[in-house]
Structure 1
Amino acid sequence: MSRRAMIRAVVAILLIVTALAFRPDRALQVATGNVALTLCSEVFVSGLPADLVYAQSLAPNPGLRLLGPLLRHKIDRTHRAVDATWAGLFASRATYRGAAGCRLTYGESPKPAVVVTPPSLRRDALAGPSPVQTDNPALIAALDHVFVEPAHPPHRWVRAVVIVQHGKIVAERYAPGVAVDTPLLGYSASKTAINALVGVLVRHGRLDVTAPAPVAAWKDGDPRRAITLDNLLRMTSGLRVEERDTGFDPTSRMMFIEPDMAAYAASRQLKAKPGERFEYASPNTLIAAAIVRQQVGGSRADVLNFARRELFDPLGMRGVVFETDAAGTPIGSTRMLAPARDWARLGLLYLHDGVADGRRILPEGWVAYSTRATLGSDYGAGLWTNDSENANARGRVRGGMPRDAYFASGRLGQRIYVMPSQDLVIVRMGATWSEDFDIEGDLRLIREAIAALEPAPRP
């Protein structure tokens, strides 16, 4: 063999080994799955125009931009499905299933889940059917600042802001095409709903966050048996479940390739001793969500009905759509959709220490537990917190957010801020592609809202 031929052979072998290691086919499958599911949810659940969804929620994604014009999608309005492909290959399909939202399908067309919504006599105390208009000029200016678009990308594309003080909406505003009852995708703000569902089961005495997590796959002698529900909620499980949003990482694979997301997450091995390292990663939440499902009956309908009966209905959250994976587990990391007002209602539950309309939903002390910082981070157990010496928390306090504030936070700027010292909840939903999802804009909104709602101190 000539030297040139040998070099070519070595290069070919290296390319093959690299392809096997990095699995570009999986990354392409992740991309088509992301396109199909996002379009399905925001078109068929949220009711947003398909072109707007693609332009705001998908097109700015750097990874999708790299795939260029070979990444295509088709919306089937007759069957309420979305197909996405790359180069005619790596096809993904997501279908709309009514009250259960959208789901990626794996060669089958799932039937809609049966979801029972019990009648409720609870009166909606937040506001009437129309957006609340304020005559407070300072609040109007604050909302103007939130919705103004920069001259150049990254865009903010704010879709909804709701400001609630003393249990009433004092101001709200929506983007064109978004209404008070439009379900909006919460991304990682969904994790707070899983925190609440775990809390309900703790109050019922059916779960203990300090005990080993009841995962059947973790047998006696398996070091993962040491993982507790607290570790899962606090992202200290030590599992190899990195979240990088690259298409190659375990979280990307879980979200857009694996039909049983929690089983895949639970199959990952340890890289650190449980409880010793904080690493934010959505597979932890999927394992917790699967535990909730198993505790309440095991089926998709069981868990969705439980969530509605024990959490959403008592809070008056009538517009929630909680999407599940093929195994029936709520995708509690990222796939809950709800109107902005309903996200505010979830924030009010935490503001009121787990009590809604005089009824205790979460156990006493649960909010304090959930907002206590984990290790050296500014993350609690399903909520981010300012009650921490972490640099991010200190920066938010310097930026005008109260020290006692905590918040749910999701990709592209889905945030539910809870500020007990101000008796205030602010919801901000959007499709914001800046690196920090416009936290500076949120801090300005919080500063201006507090100044507008509370008299300025005398000099």
Structure 2
Amino acid sequence: MKKWLKYFLFLLLAGIAILVYIYYPALNIVTGYSSKNMASGIFVTERDQTSLMEYDNGFFPISLADYDVNIEEKSVTSSLFGLMKRKAIYYEGVGAVLVNKDEDALTSVIAPIRVQQSLNMPYPYGKLQQKDTLFEEVNYQYLESAVDNAFDKEGEQLKQTRSVLVVYKDQIIAEKYEAGFDKESLMHGWSMTKSFTSTIYGLLQRQRGLDLTGTTGLEQWKADERKDITYQNLLEMNSGLEWEEAYFNISDVTKMLYLAADMGAMQIDKPLTGTPDESWNYSSGTSNLLSGPLLRAQFNSHQEYLDFWYTELLDKIGMHSAVVEVDQVGNYVGSSYAWATTRDWAKFGLLYLHEGNWNGEQVLDSSFVKYVATPTNSSEGRYGAQFWLNAGAYFPDVPADMYYCSGFKGQYVFIFPSQNLIVVRTGLTGDPTFNVNEFLKEIIASIS
């Protein structure tokens, strides 16, 4: 063999070795995401593997993953070129759980107790059909066009919208779904789950007198400056704790979601790098600290902790399709893992639109509703308490009092207090690929 060929092969192998060394840790994230998303898609939403591979897991490098789906075990094992196998297992009531090793599988699963009442009323308070109602102030032709514009034209895959629902004065005035989805399809909320977490704290404040301005009392923080961090600081993402939120590389958030057994513990271990109430920093770790260790400490048993989310919030407002998934220690992943139908996501928005009142019952204090929509310091009017805001006119053609739940890849529940309006959009692309400002501008323009 010629010397130059030997030299070339040596450099090639050396280059491959370097690439493997650099990117091998990322395989854990890739196969973790692949197996978890596939398991939830198959066993929570009951979609088929082919569709999930083509669309939900169809982006690089997730698209390179291979899958072993075990229907009997209700598990999905993913690998990349045969390397770094990761398994996610579905458990009834708590969804798909990504496990680090087979021995980490949940051995005793506690499922939340669901109480589902079907009221003899039309949507949103029951399952009866709504009465045909025409509002003179609504230009239905313009509205239909605005909704149609949110979806791709035939042959395109740009906006990738899956559903749009418009609710005006408690009436559905527009609803559309991409082919393969309908009003019964469960949609992944991703970070819209954070708004659930915030709401749970609002319920604890109302029902049990939890002082949100009080400190957390975490044992790990008692000996340093972190002892002064309050629940309110955490709810507002303004604790000053270190955290890196980057989804397309190895960061705190990807290590938490796809490597950590106890997701809420990661933020506990982070140092203080800013000043509480002066250092806004978006952090899914903060949300899981709130929904995991801190929230669990408010209840006498794990069953009570699991049940509270449904009995006092989700099932109470008729979100009977909703599923919130847990981590390996059985705590809710309050940053990212909630599922519900588009119509049920709208119900959550309606709870806030009606200032915490649901069908005559005051579920949340109206003061808490006002609180979550109030800008936190140093967020430039973009964030409240686990809700996003438009107070700083981020969307220039949208009312400033609009606030919203927002999730990865463009999941939205928009709340318009001044317009008595809720708009839900789900899909696979977010702003700016999906132009939120233009979308909402057109919707609002149809109602005068």
* 1:176 matched residue in structure 2: 179
* 2:432 matched residue in structure 1: 436
Q: CA deviation at 1:302?
A: 2.7
* 2:307 matched residue in structure 1: 305
8 Å contact kept, 1:187–1:335 = yes
CA distance in 1, matches of 2:168, 2:431: 30
Q: CA deviation at 1:373?
A: 1.0
* 2:58 matched residue in structure 1: 59
8 Å contact kept, 1:28–1:247 = no
* 1:413 matched residue in structure 2: 410
- Change in Cα spacing, 1:125 to 1:46, as seen in structure 2 (3 Å) is same
8 Å contact kept, 1:254–1:265 = no
The worse-fitting range, judged by mean Cα deviation, of 127-136 and 172-181 is: 127-136
* 2:391 matched residue in structure 1: 387
Q: CA deviation at 1:124?
A: 4.8
CA distance in 2, matches of 1:159, 1:134: 25
* 2:11 matched residue in structure 1: none
* 2:122 matched residue in structure 1: 125
Q: CA deviation at 1:227?
A: 1.5
- Change in Cα spacing, 1:370 to 1:263, as seen in structure 2 (3 Å) is same
User: Is the partner of 1:261 in helix, strand or coil?
Assistant: coil
Of the candidates 278, 298, 301, which is equivalent to residue 295 of structure 1?
Answer: 298
- Change in Cα spacing, 1:104 to 1:116, as seen in structure 2 (3 Å) is same
8 Å contact kept, 1:39–1:53 = yes
- Change in Cα spacing, 1:64 to 1:313, as seen in structure 2 (3 Å) is closer
Of the candidates 56, 71, 82, which is equivalent to residue 76 of structure 2?
Answer: 82
Post-superposition Cα deviations, 1:332-387, rounded to whole Å, max 9, x if no partner, equal 11100011111101101111111111111112311111111122321111111112
Q: CA deviation at 1:289?
A: 0.4
Post-superposition Cα deviations, 1:127-184, rounded to whole Å, max 9, x if no partner, equal 657899999322221221111248665x222111111111121121112222212221
Post-superposition Cα deviations, 1:252-295, rounded to whole Å, max 9, x if no partner, equal 11111010011122112222222221111100000110222221
User: Is the partner of 2:88 in helix, strand or coil?
Assistant: strand
The worse-fitting range, judged by mean Cα deviation, of 205-214 and 371-380 is: 205-214
- Change in Cα spacing, 1:268 to 1:371, as seen in structure 2 (3 Å) is same
- Change in Cα spacing, 1:168 to 1:151, as seen in structure 2 (3 Å) is same
- Change in Cα spacing, 1:260 to 1:429, as seen in structure 2 (3 Å) is same
- Change in Cα spacing, 1:194 to 1:437, as seen in structure 2 (3 Å) is farther
* Structure 1 residues 38-49: aligned runs within 5 Å: 38-49=37-48
1:148 matched to 2:156? The reply is: no
User: Is the partner of 1:173 in helix, strand or coil?
Assistant: strand
Q: CA deviation at 1:298?
A: 4.6
8 Å contact kept, 1:132–1:171 = no
- Change in Cα spacing, 1:134 to 1:174, as seen in structure 2 (3 Å) is farther
Query: Which AA in structure 2 matches 1:139?
Result: L
* 1:9 matched residue in structure 2: none
8 Å contact kept, 1:237–1:275 = yes
8 Å contact kept, 2:35–2:86 = yes
- Change in Cα spacing, 1:150 to 1:375, as seen in structure 2 (3 Å) is farther
Aligned residues: 420
CA distance in 1, matches of 2:431, 2:314: 32
List runs of 5+ in structure 1 lacking aligned partners. Answer: 1-11, 389-393, 455-459
CA distance in 2, matches of 1:282, 1:131: 38
Post-superposition Cα deviations, 1:380-401, rounded to whole Å, max 9, x if no partner, equal 111111123xxxxx241x2x31
What TM-score do you get using the length of structure 2 for normalisation? Answer: 0.87
Post-superposition Cα deviations, 1:286-334, rounded to whole Å, max 9, x if no partner, equal 01102222213352x3323111110012211110100010112111111
What TM-score do you get using the length of structure 1 for normalisation? Answer: 0.85
CA distance in 2, matches of 1:357, 1:437: 37
* 1:457 matched residue in structure 2: none
% identity of equivalent residues: 28
Of the candidates 81, 96, 106, which is equivalent to residue 102 of structure 1?
Answer: 96
8 Å contact kept, 2:67–2:77 = yes
8 Å contact kept, 1:33–1:257 = yes
CA distance in 2, matches of 1:295, 1:25: 40
Q: CA deviation at 1:217?
A: 2.8
- Change in Cα spacing, 1:437 to 1:134, as seen in structure 2 (3 Å) is farther
* 2:27 matched residue in structure 1: 28
8 Å contact kept, 1:31–1:247 = no
CA distance in 2, matches of 1:372, 1:435: 22
CA distance in 2, matches of 1:207, 1:184: 32
1:282 matched to 2:279? The reply is: no
1:448 matched to 2:442? The reply is: yes
The worse-fitting range, judged by mean Cα deviation, of 144-153 and 367-376 is: 144-153
8 Å contact kept, 1:194–1:332 = yes
User: Is the partner of 2:30 in helix, strand or coil?
Assistant: helix
Q: CA deviation at 1:435?
A: 6.0
Query: Which AA in structure 1 matches 2:93?
Result: A
CA distance in 2, matches of 1:63, 1:375: 37
- Change in Cα spacing, 1:303 to 1:144, as seen in structure 2 (3 Å) is same
* 2:163 matched residue in structure 1: 160
User: Is the partner of 1:314 in helix, strand or coil?
Assistant: coil
* 2:271 matched residue in structure 1: 269
- Change in Cα spacing, 1:86 to 1:382, as seen in structure 2 (3 Å) is same
CA distance in 1, matches of 2:408, 2:69: 24
Q: CA deviation at 1:238?
A: 1.8
Q: CA deviation at 1:214?
A: 3.7
User: Is the partner of 2:93 in helix, strand or coil?
Assistant: helix
* Structure 1 residues 137-286: aligned runs within 5 Å: 137-149=141-153, 155-218=158-221, 220-286=222-288
Of the candidates 112, 115, 121, which is equivalent to residue 115 of structure 1?
Answer: 112
* Structure 1 residues 11-22: aligned runs within 5 Å: none
User: Is the partner of 2:220 in helix, strand or coil?
Assistant: coil
* 2:424 matched residue in structure 1: 427
8 Å contact kept, 2:92–2:111 = no
User: Is the partner of 2:79 in helix, strand or coil?
Assistant: strand
Provide the alpha-carbon RMSD of the alignment.
2.6
Q: CA deviation at 1:125?
A: 3.4
User: Is the partner of 1:181 in helix, strand or coil?
Assistant: coil
